Amino acid sequence: MGGVRRLEHAVIRVKNLEQSLRIFTSGMGLAEIARNNGAVYLGCGLDKNFDIGIIGGGSGLDHFAMRCDSEQELESYRNRLKQNGVEYETVEKLDPGEKAAIRCKTPSGTAVEFVTVSDNSYQRDNVQALMSRLAIAPQDADHVNIMTPDVPKETEFFVKVLGFRLSVVQTNDRGDWSITYVRQEDWQHDIAINSNIHDIPPEQLESNKKMRLHHVAWTTTSIEHMKLLVDQISSMGVPMEYGPARQRVGNISTYYWEPGGNRMEFSTEMPTLDSNFPTRIEKLSEGRAFGWGIRPPLETFRKGS
Protein backbone atom coordinates (compact mmCIF):
# COMPACT_ATOMS: atom_id res chain seq x y z
CA MET A 1 0.00 0.00 0.00
CA GLY A 2 1.26 3.45 -0.83
CA GLY A 3 2.18 6.08 1.67
CA VAL A 4 5.15 7.66 3.33
CA ARG A 5 6.42 5.92 6.46
CA ARG A 6 8.45 8.28 8.63
CA LEU A 7 9.75 6.04 11.41
CA GLU A 8 13.48 5.74 10.72
CA HIS A 9 14.49 3.28 13.43
CA ALA A 10 14.06 2.10 17.00
CA VAL A 11 16.80 1.06 19.42
CA ILE A 12 15.71 -1.40 22.09
CA ARG A 13 17.26 -3.22 25.03
CA VAL A 14 17.03 -7.00 25.14
CA LYS A 15 17.58 -9.54 27.90
CA ASN A 16 19.61 -11.93 25.75
CA LEU A 17 21.41 -10.37 22.81
CA GLU A 18 22.23 -13.59 20.97
CA GLN A 19 18.72 -15.06 21.29
CA SER A 20 17.16 -11.83 20.02
CA LEU A 21 19.68 -11.57 17.21
CA ARG A 22 18.83 -15.10 16.08
CA ILE A 23 15.13 -14.27 15.76
CA PHE A 24 15.69 -10.92 14.06
CA THR A 25 18.09 -12.40 11.48
CA SER A 26 17.15 -16.05 10.91
CA GLY A 27 13.49 -15.52 11.84
CA MET A 28 12.66 -12.11 10.37
CA GLY A 29 15.38 -12.06 7.74
CA LEU A 30 17.00 -8.77 8.79
CA ALA A 31 20.57 -8.05 7.71
CA GLU A 32 23.28 -7.13 10.18
CA ILE A 33 24.74 -3.74 9.28
CA ALA A 34 27.14 -2.89 12.10
CA ARG A 35 28.19 -3.48 15.69
CA ASN A 36 29.22 -0.54 17.81
CA ASN A 37 29.64 -0.02 21.57
CA GLY A 38 27.68 -3.14 22.46
CA ALA A 39 24.81 -2.48 20.04
CA VAL A 40 23.95 -4.53 16.95
CA TYR A 41 22.28 -2.65 14.08
CA LEU A 42 19.95 -4.51 11.72
CA GLY A 43 18.06 -3.48 8.59
CA CYS A 44 15.33 -4.80 6.34
CA GLY A 45 17.80 -4.41 3.48
CA LEU A 46 15.95 -2.47 0.80
CA ASP A 47 18.15 0.49 1.71
CA LYS A 48 21.39 0.70 3.65
CA ASN A 49 19.85 2.17 6.79
CA PHE A 50 19.35 0.24 10.01
CA ASP A 51 15.79 -0.21 11.21
CA ILE A 52 16.40 -1.60 14.67
CA GLY A 53 19.31 -1.52 17.06
CA ILE A 54 19.52 -4.03 19.90
CA ILE A 55 21.52 -3.56 23.09
CA GLY A 56 22.08 -6.36 25.60
CA GLY A 57 20.76 -5.82 29.12
CA GLY A 58 17.16 -5.37 30.28
CA SER A 59 14.28 -4.74 27.91
CA GLY A 60 12.35 -1.77 26.54
CA LEU A 61 12.92 1.27 24.38
CA ASP A 62 16.19 3.20 24.36
CA HIS A 63 14.95 5.67 21.73
CA PHE A 64 13.25 5.91 18.37
CA ALA A 65 14.00 8.20 15.44
CA MET A 66 11.96 9.97 12.77
CA ARG A 67 13.34 10.63 9.28
CA CYS A 68 14.06 14.14 8.04
CA ASP A 69 14.63 14.45 4.31
CA SER A 70 16.92 17.47 4.53
CA GLU A 71 18.97 19.64 6.84
CA GLN A 72 16.24 22.26 6.50
CA GLU A 73 13.61 19.87 7.83
CA LEU A 74 15.90 18.91 10.70
CA GLU A 75 16.42 22.59 11.48
CA SER A 76 12.65 23.14 11.53
CA TYR A 77 12.32 20.61 14.36
CA ARG A 78 15.21 22.25 16.18
CA ASN A 79 13.38 25.58 15.91
CA ARG A 80 10.09 24.08 17.12
CA LEU A 81 11.80 22.72 20.22
CA LYS A 82 13.52 26.05 20.89
CA GLN A 83 10.33 28.07 20.47
CA ASN A 84 8.46 25.82 22.90
CA GLY A 85 11.22 25.81 25.50
CA VAL A 86 11.90 22.08 25.13
CA GLU A 87 15.41 20.95 25.95
CA TYR A 88 17.22 19.04 23.22
CA GLU A 89 20.74 18.02 22.31
CA THR A 90 22.69 17.65 19.10
CA VAL A 91 23.76 14.02 18.94
CA GLU A 92 27.55 13.80 18.69
CA LYS A 93 27.96 10.02 18.52
CA LEU A 94 25.80 9.18 15.54
CA ASP A 95 24.36 5.75 14.85
CA PRO A 96 25.44 4.00 11.63
CA GLY A 97 24.24 5.73 8.45
CA GLU A 98 23.18 8.96 10.14
CA LYS A 99 24.40 12.33 8.87
CA ALA A 100 22.95 14.46 11.69
CA ALA A 101 20.58 14.03 14.62
CA ILE A 102 18.94 15.90 17.45
CA ARG A 103 17.40 14.27 20.51
CA CYS A 104 14.68 15.38 22.91
CA LYS A 105 12.41 13.70 25.43
CA THR A 106 8.64 13.54 25.54
CA PRO A 107 6.84 14.69 28.72
CA SER A 108 6.90 11.12 30.04
CA GLY A 109 10.62 10.73 29.32
CA THR A 110 10.72 8.74 26.07
CA ALA A 111 13.73 9.71 23.95
CA VAL A 112 12.95 10.81 20.38
CA GLU A 113 15.44 11.68 17.66
CA PHE A 114 15.06 13.51 14.37
CA VAL A 115 17.70 12.39 11.89
CA THR A 116 19.01 12.76 8.38
CA VAL A 117 20.57 9.69 6.78
CA SER A 118 23.19 9.04 4.12
CA ASP A 119 21.02 6.67 2.09
CA ASN A 120 17.90 8.68 1.32
CA SER A 121 17.15 6.72 -1.84
CA TYR A 122 13.79 5.47 -3.06
CA GLN A 123 13.11 1.88 -1.98
CA ARG A 124 12.28 -0.72 -4.60
CA ASP A 125 11.21 -4.23 -3.69
CA ASN A 126 13.24 -5.74 -6.56
CA VAL A 127 16.52 -4.04 -5.58
CA GLN A 128 18.32 -5.23 -2.44
CA ALA A 129 20.76 -2.82 -0.89
CA LEU A 130 21.92 -5.44 1.61
CA MET A 131 22.42 -8.85 0.04
CA SER A 132 22.49 -10.62 3.41
CA ARG A 133 18.79 -9.96 3.96
CA LEU A 134 16.48 -12.94 3.54
CA ALA A 135 13.66 -12.88 1.00
CA ILE A 136 11.04 -13.02 3.77
CA ALA A 137 12.31 -9.83 5.47
CA PRO A 138 9.79 -7.02 6.06
CA GLN A 139 9.89 -4.02 3.77
CA ASP A 140 10.73 -1.54 6.49
CA ALA A 141 10.11 -0.44 10.05
CA ASP A 142 6.47 0.69 10.09
CA HIS A 143 5.60 2.48 13.34
CA VAL A 144 6.23 2.50 17.06
CA ASN A 145 3.69 2.27 19.86
CA ILE A 146 4.89 3.99 23.05
CA MET A 147 3.35 3.90 26.52
CA THR A 148 2.73 6.73 28.96
CA PRO A 149 0.62 7.47 32.07
CA ASP A 150 -0.63 10.71 30.44
CA VAL A 151 -1.82 10.13 26.86
CA PRO A 152 -3.27 13.67 26.33
CA LYS A 153 -0.05 15.38 27.45
CA GLU A 154 2.15 13.10 25.35
CA THR A 155 -0.12 13.59 22.33
CA GLU A 156 -0.11 17.37 22.76
CA PHE A 157 3.70 17.31 22.65
CA PHE A 158 3.73 15.60 19.26
CA VAL A 159 0.88 17.66 17.80
CA LYS A 160 1.37 21.17 19.21
CA VAL A 161 5.13 21.20 19.73
CA LEU A 162 6.35 19.00 16.88
CA GLY A 163 3.56 19.59 14.36
CA PHE A 164 2.36 16.01 13.88
CA ARG A 165 -1.24 15.38 12.80
CA LEU A 166 -3.67 13.59 15.12
CA SER A 167 -5.42 10.80 13.22
CA VAL A 168 -7.53 9.00 15.84
CA VAL A 169 -8.32 9.22 19.55
CA GLN A 170 -9.66 6.08 21.20
CA THR A 171 -11.25 6.43 24.65
CA ASN A 172 -12.41 4.08 27.36
CA ASP A 173 -15.99 4.18 28.64
CA ARG A 174 -15.13 6.98 31.08
CA GLY A 175 -13.93 9.17 28.22
CA ASP A 176 -10.23 8.91 29.13
CA TRP A 177 -7.86 8.97 26.18
CA SER A 178 -6.56 5.40 26.05
CA ILE A 179 -4.77 5.37 22.68
CA THR A 180 -3.98 8.06 20.13
CA TYR A 181 -2.43 7.79 16.67
CA VAL A 182 -0.28 10.56 15.20
CA ARG A 183 1.42 10.96 11.83
CA GLN A 184 3.98 13.15 10.09
CA GLU A 185 2.79 12.56 6.53
CA ASP A 186 -0.02 10.39 5.11
CA TRP A 187 0.71 7.05 6.83
CA GLN A 188 -2.24 6.55 9.22
CA HIS A 189 0.14 6.55 12.16
CA ASP A 190 3.87 6.70 12.62
CA ILE A 191 3.45 6.72 16.40
CA ALA A 192 0.73 5.27 18.59
CA ILE A 193 0.53 6.56 22.16
CA ASN A 194 -0.88 4.02 24.59
CA SER A 195 -1.93 4.40 28.22
CA ASN A 196 -0.03 2.27 30.70
CA ILE A 197 -2.43 3.02 33.58
CA HIS A 198 -6.02 2.84 32.23
CA ASP A 199 -8.02 -0.27 33.11
CA ILE A 200 -4.96 -1.99 34.57
CA PRO A 201 -5.45 -4.42 37.48
CA PRO A 202 -4.24 -2.76 40.71
CA GLU A 203 -1.54 -5.36 41.27
CA GLN A 204 0.02 -4.49 37.87
CA LEU A 205 -0.30 -0.71 38.07
CA GLU A 206 3.08 0.23 39.55
CA SER A 207 5.04 -2.03 37.22
CA ASN A 208 3.03 -0.83 34.21
CA LYS A 209 3.89 2.81 34.92
CA LYS A 210 7.54 2.02 34.14
CA MET A 211 6.76 0.59 30.71
CA ARG A 212 7.56 2.79 27.71
CA LEU A 213 7.28 0.45 24.71
CA HIS A 214 4.18 -1.41 23.64
CA HIS A 215 5.59 -2.58 20.31
CA VAL A 216 7.71 -1.90 17.26
CA ALA A 217 5.90 -2.63 13.99
CA TRP A 218 7.18 -3.89 10.64
CA THR A 219 5.67 -3.42 7.18
CA THR A 220 4.75 -6.56 5.26
CA THR A 221 3.55 -6.47 1.66
CA SER A 222 0.49 -8.66 2.24
CA ILE A 223 -1.12 -11.11 4.60
CA GLU A 224 0.66 -13.85 2.63
CA HIS A 225 4.00 -12.21 3.41
CA MET A 226 2.95 -11.95 7.05
CA LYS A 227 2.07 -15.63 7.08
CA LEU A 228 5.56 -16.57 5.87
CA LEU A 229 7.16 -14.57 8.69
CA VAL A 230 4.81 -16.08 11.27
CA ASP A 231 5.56 -19.60 10.01
CA GLN A 232 9.30 -18.98 10.13
CA ILE A 233 9.35 -17.49 13.64
CA SER A 234 6.89 -20.06 15.01
CA SER A 235 9.08 -22.86 13.66
CA MET A 236 11.91 -21.41 15.79
CA GLY A 237 9.87 -21.89 18.95
CA VAL A 238 8.45 -18.37 19.33
CA PRO A 239 4.62 -18.33 19.57
CA MET A 240 2.40 -15.52 18.35
CA GLU A 241 0.59 -13.48 21.01
CA TYR A 242 -2.30 -12.22 18.89
CA GLY A 243 -3.43 -12.19 15.28
CA PRO A 244 -3.69 -12.02 12.42
CA ALA A 245 -6.50 -9.58 13.09
CA ARG A 246 -7.95 -6.50 11.44
CA GLN A 247 -7.37 -3.45 13.63
CA ARG A 248 -9.98 -0.76 14.13
CA VAL A 249 -7.70 1.80 12.47
CA GLY A 250 -7.58 -0.39 9.36
CA ASN A 251 -4.35 -2.39 9.17
CA ILE A 252 -3.96 -6.15 9.66
CA SER A 253 -1.62 -7.16 12.47
CA THR A 254 0.09 -10.10 14.11
CA TYR A 255 2.05 -9.71 17.36
CA TYR A 256 4.74 -11.71 19.11
CA TRP A 257 7.27 -11.25 21.92
CA GLU A 258 10.87 -11.57 20.78
CA PRO A 259 13.10 -13.48 23.26
CA GLY A 260 14.64 -10.28 24.63
CA GLY A 261 11.33 -9.17 26.17
CA ASN A 262 9.84 -6.76 23.61
CA ARG A 263 6.66 -7.03 21.55
CA MET A 264 6.90 -6.88 17.75
CA GLU A 265 4.09 -6.42 15.24
CA PHE A 266 3.82 -7.39 11.58
CA SER A 267 1.51 -4.95 9.80
CA THR A 268 -0.03 -4.76 6.35
CA GLU A 269 -2.71 -2.67 4.63
CA MET A 270 -2.04 0.44 6.69
CA PRO A 271 -4.45 3.18 5.51
CA THR A 272 -3.23 6.53 4.26
CA LEU A 273 -4.93 9.82 5.11
CA ASP A 274 -5.15 13.15 3.37
CA SER A 275 -3.46 16.03 5.19
CA ASN A 276 -6.81 17.63 6.07
CA PHE A 277 -8.42 14.42 7.33
CA PRO A 278 -10.27 15.34 10.56
CA THR A 279 -9.38 13.64 13.83
CA ARG A 280 -11.71 10.75 14.59
CA ILE A 281 -12.73 10.20 18.23
CA GLU A 282 -14.22 6.83 19.15
CA LYS A 283 -14.90 4.59 22.13
CA LEU A 284 -12.97 1.35 22.22
CA SER A 285 -16.07 -0.48 23.44
CA GLU A 286 -18.35 0.71 20.62
CA GLY A 287 -18.71 -0.33 17.02
CA ARG A 288 -16.13 -2.47 15.33
CA ALA A 289 -13.43 -2.19 17.96
CA PHE A 290 -11.77 -5.19 16.34
CA GLY A 291 -12.47 -5.54 12.65
CA TRP A 292 -12.84 -9.31 12.59
CA GLY A 293 -14.19 -9.61 16.12
CA ILE A 294 -10.91 -11.07 17.38
CA ARG A 295 -10.00 -9.49 20.69
CA PRO A 296 -6.42 -9.40 22.02
CA PRO A 297 -5.53 -11.31 25.21
CA LEU A 298 -5.82 -8.43 27.68
CA GLU A 299 -3.88 -10.19 30.41
CA THR A 300 -0.77 -9.79 28.25
CA PHE A 301 -1.72 -7.12 25.72
CA ARG A 302 -1.93 -4.34 28.33
CA LYS A 303 1.70 -4.97 29.16
CA GLY A 304 4.75 -3.44 27.54
CA SER A 305 8.46 -3.31 28.14
Residue 143: which of 86, 67, 210 has the closest Cα? 67
High-pLDDT (> 70) share of the chain, %: 91
Q: What is the DSSP letter of 222?
A: S
Give the mean pLDDT of the chain.
91
pLDDT-derived band at 2 (thresholds 50, 70, 90) equals very low
Cβ atoms of residues 190 and 141 within 8 Å: no
Question: What pLDDT, on the 0 to 100 scale, is given for residue 202?
Answer: 64
Tens digits of residue pLDDT in 22-48: 999 999 999 999 999 899 999 999 999
Cα 249 from Cα 291, distance rounded (Å): 9
pLDDT at 1: 33
At residue 208, the pLDDT reads: 67
Model pTM score: 0.94
pLDDT at 215 over 60: yes
pLDDT-based confidence at 285, cuts 50/70/90? confident
Domains with residue ranges and CATH for the chain: 7-118+139-299 (3.10.180.10)
Average pLDDT over residues 123-131: 71
Q: Is 31 exposed, middle or buried (0-12, 13-18, 19+ CB in 10 A)?
A: buried
Residue 64 has pLDDT above 90, yes or no: yes
Residue 280 pairs in a beta bridge with 168
Cα–Cα distances in angstroms (integers) from residue 81 to residues 89, 158, 192, in the given order: 10, 11, 21
Lowest-confidence range among 97-106, 116-125, 286-295? 286-295
Contact predicate 2/139, CB 8 Å: no
Q: What is the mean pLDDT of residues 2-9?
A: 74
